[in-house]
Amino acid sequence: MIRRIVRSYDVNDITKFVSKVFANNEPMCKVLNVNEKDIENTFGSLIKECCSSNLSTLWRNDNVMAASLVLPYYKYKNFDIKNENEKLKPIIKVLDEIGDIPDGLIHNSVYYFMHGTDPSVINKGYLKKGVLSTIENTEKNLYDFIIADATNVASQHVLKKYDFKVYKKMKFNNDIEIYRMIREIYYY
């Protein structure tokens, strides 16, 4: 399997891939009965921005098998979702309500927008590889912090394992815990 930085020409494959993975596996999407088109239409522009950031990584053979999508935090913070789908409004509201990060971190942070893994390679270490590639790409681009919103137990566990600290917590639908997490990059 090939690992490489995502490029802008990957946008169609990546959008289809992460939309499918999130519609079928992300806890909030499952509760809200969100489908692939809902995600594509609402987050397609943000996914496109991640594909041109030089911070995102994909793993592929003939098809995309895993992808970690990352962009500078200030771009995420100022992003205007244009095709907001009614089904996704509760998710967007949660991401707004979980709050912001301290002002001093905004311009020297990246946002780990999403990681998707194809079901055929689940439990083969691609979430861990995604976190490690995000740390590596963040260091190469001289950012100081990684911000992530972890919406499932597996992501929360792996991020904690790699020194992400919980900055804020909230609940969605009274049972899904969402963590806003921050990891500082240490340059030696």
Q: Domain total for the chain?
A: 1
Residue 91 tokens, joined:
């998710």
Q: Residue 123 and residue 97: Cα distance in Å, rounded?
A: 31
pLDDT tens, position by position, 1-21? 999 999 999 999 999 999 999
pLDDT tens, position by position, 77-105? 888 876 678 889 898 888 888 888 888 88
Contact 25, 39 (CB under 8 A): no
Domain that holds residue 12: 2-184
Report pLDDT for 82: 66
| Per-residue tens of pLDDT for the chain, all 188 residues | 999 999 999 999 999 999 999 999 999 999 999 999 999 999 999 999 999 999 999 999 999 999 999 999 999 988 887 667 888 989 888 888 888 888 888 899 999 999 999 999 999 999 999 999 999 999 999 999 999 999 999 999 999 999 999 999 999 998 999 999 999 998 87
Residue 52 tokens, joined:
């041109």
Report pLDDT for 83: 65
The two beta strands, 109-117 and 145-150, are: parallel
Report the CATH number at residue 117.
Answer: 3.40.630.30
Q: Residue 91 and residue 131: Cα distance in Å, rounded?
A: 22
Contacts with 87 (C-beta within 8 Å, 6 or more apart), sequence order: 32, 33, 34, 38
Bridge partners of residue 68, in order along the sequence: 57, 115
Containing 71, the helix (H) or strand (E) segment is strand 64-72
